[in-house]
Amino acid sequence: MSQQPPMIQITNLSKAYGKNTVLHDISLDVPQGGSVALIGPSGSGKSTLLRCINLLEEPSAGSIRVDSQVMEFGPRSQRPGGARLAGFRAETGMVFQSFNLFPNMTVIENVMAGPLYVKHVPRDAARAQALELLDRVGMAHKADVSPSNLSGGQKQRVAIARALAMQPKVMLFDEATSALDPQLVGEVLGVMRDLAAAGMTMVVVTHEMAFARDVADTVVFMSGGYVVEKGPAHDVIENPQEDRTKEFLRHFHVGRN
Amino acid sequence: MSYQWDFGLVWHYAPLLGTGIEYTLGLTVVTSVIGMVIGTCLALCQQSRMWFISVPLGMVSEVFRCTPSLVQLIWCYYALPIVLGITLSPMSAALLALSIYGGVFYGEIFRAGLRSIDPGQWDGARALGMTSWTMMRRVILPQVLRRMVGPMVSQTVLQLKNTSLVSVVTVPDLVYQGQMVASATYRPLEVYTTIAILYFLILFPLTQLSRLLERRWA
Ligand SMILES: Nc1ncnc2c1ncn2[C@@H]1O[C@H](COP(=O)(O)OP(=O)(O)OP(=O)(O)O)[C@@H](O)[C@H]1O
Ligand SMILES: [Mg+2]
């Protein structure tokens, strides 16, 4: 059996803000098509780790590989320039808790922004692809409205389509449903579930334990900037080994679905 | 004790005042445009993380913000040539002082505009793989510029009023020409009334425009 290299490979990654180290020597592999859920208490470094994967935050040390692009950080590595950073980020899609849609563009223009302005795809092709993606997330009927007229769940589905438009190798989700009214959470989780089922490599920061258990194949529990426990999703959620994981999961009532 | 108003004489000197208006408007346009360029550079440089750029520029800004523009103008005309060992015509000194003064304030408007943009917008643009320039052009500036238009027009109104200071270094703007006409006619009341009305006629539409733009775009 030939072993494929992991799609995401994080090696000995550390991140400090001044003297405050918020990620300690983290190593994590995500195989092609795998989906990892990052869970942990507030301030444990989940967002920081996720933002390091697409270099929205610059790691202090360690290396990150996504598919064939490798970035090394540390005192002996040269800091990557703007163009290299942009090229690296263009291959990873990211979805934020606060959507971050561009208010100066319509819904479809948001989805076309990456292909048009980063990849320089012809407008017709960008538009056709955007319509297809909006259809996939159930938002084609809102293509020409301003994002400010959408509900939170609709905004987030557009944001997912916008990230997918770059045809990323991996998708990163930072609490994509935390800002949503409870009745809107399902529609966004549904889109994410479909993506995982379609074989997208995903890293998902979430407080939805049922989602972590049922959709992710691996769960990583972080605390204080360390990876405390990681393993098959069902095992970690249902039968945690570490005390801190047990303590954390006690706060959640993980329903069946 | 009733004063006999007589605008006839002032009318006689209309061409002189016309020249004054040309200088006033010309100075306003030129110093505003240069000021906006300086302001843009200031705002972008002060965004930069390189302290040896942002700190000195911040200090220059503070000097210009915390001294009256009349003093700056006089200093540029009388002191600067001695410091640098050059000669400056009244017009060059006026352009220099007013442009930098405007630049500092236009820069502040631009900076406030950039600060008012939700940091998530930068994240969103970067995450798509946009370079700084693309992000500025496609995402940030279109949002900043709309919010900036109102304050920019207000600043340009101030800029136009500030041009009245250049008369002290003998640049023939509207005020300077007015002084000429007043001493020629011995009719200062009529002359300065006329000048006030002329300024008002130029500036009132501008302030209305700024109010309209602010209401529409803020
Ligand atoms: N820009 C920053 N400057 C300084 N410290 C930061 C910065 N961003 C994050 N931190 C610190 O890093 C630590 C980890 O933050 P992070 O946002 O990654 O946590 P998190 O696990 O995502 O928490 P939450 O569940 O609340 O989102 C926190 O202690 C935070 O205060
Ligand atoms: Mg977070």
Give mean pLDDT, residues B204-217.
Answer: 85
State the CB neighbour count (10 A cutoff) for residue A199. 11
**Contact predicate B177/B22, CB 8 Å:** no
User: Does ligand 1 have an atom closer than 6 angstroms to the CB of A17?
Assistant: yes
What single-letter amino acid sits at B187? R
Q: Compute, in angstroms, the gap from residue B214 CA to the centroid of ligand 1.
A: 37
Mutate to test the interface with B, among A117, A160, A175 (most CBs of B within 10 A): A117
Q: Is the pLDDT of residue A1 over 70?
A: no
Give mean pLDDT, residues A162-190.
Answer: 95
Q: Please, where are the H alpha helices in chain A?
A: 46-53, 82-89, 107-114, 123-136, 152-164, 182-197, 209-215, 233-238, 243-250
pLDDT recorded at residue B52:
82
pTM > 0.90: yes or no = no
Q: Is the pLDDT of residue A3 over 80?
A: no
B47-87: pLDDT as tens digits: 777 788 888 888 888 999 999 999 999 999 999 999 999 88
Give mean pLDDT, residues B124-144.
Answer: 95
Q: What percent of chain B has pLDDT over 70?
A: 99
CA distance A158 to chain B (A): 13
Domains of chain A: 8-254 (3.40.50.300)
Give mean pLDDT, residues A120-134.
Answer: 97
Q: Lowest-pLDDT range, A115-119, A192-196, B60-64?
A: B60-64
pLDDT recorded at residue B211:
86
Angle at the Cα of B183 (from B178 to B186), degrees rounded to 5? Answer: 105
The DSSP H or E segment spanning B144 is helix B141-162
ipTM: 0.92
Task: Return the SS3 of B167.
Answer: helix
The single residue listed with the structure tokens 């039968």 is A239
pLDDT recorded at residue B6:
85
Query: Encoding tokens for residue B22?
Result: 């040309």
CA dist., res. A45 & res. A52, Å (int): 10
Round the average pLDDT of chain A to a whole number and report it: 94
Q: Could you tell which of A24, A39, A46 is best to mutate to test the pocket of ligand 1, judged by most ligand atoms within 8 Å of the CB? A: A46
Q: What percent of chain A has pLDDT over 70?
A: 97
Say yes or no for a CB contact (<8 Å) between B138 and A117. Answer: yes
pLDDT-derived band at B146, boundaries 50, 70, 90: confident
CA dist., res. A22 & res. B135, Å (int): 28
CA dist., res. A150 & res. B114, Å (int): 25
CA dist., res. B99 & res. B144, Å (int): 22
Q: Which of A223, A218, A225 is nearest to A237 (CA)?
A: A218
pLDDT recorded at residue B82:
92
CA dist., res. A108 & res. B128, Å (int): 15
Say yes or no for a CB contact (<8 Å) between B126 and A56. Answer: yes
CA distance B137 to chain A (A): 10
Angle of helix A123-136 relative to helix A107-114, nearest 10 degrees?
120
In this complex, is the C-beta atom of B121 within 8 Å of any C-beta atom belonging to chain A?
Answer: yes
Angle of helix B90-115 relative to helix B141-162, nearest 10 degrees?
150
Could you tell me which residue, A169 or A1, shows the higher pLDDT? A169
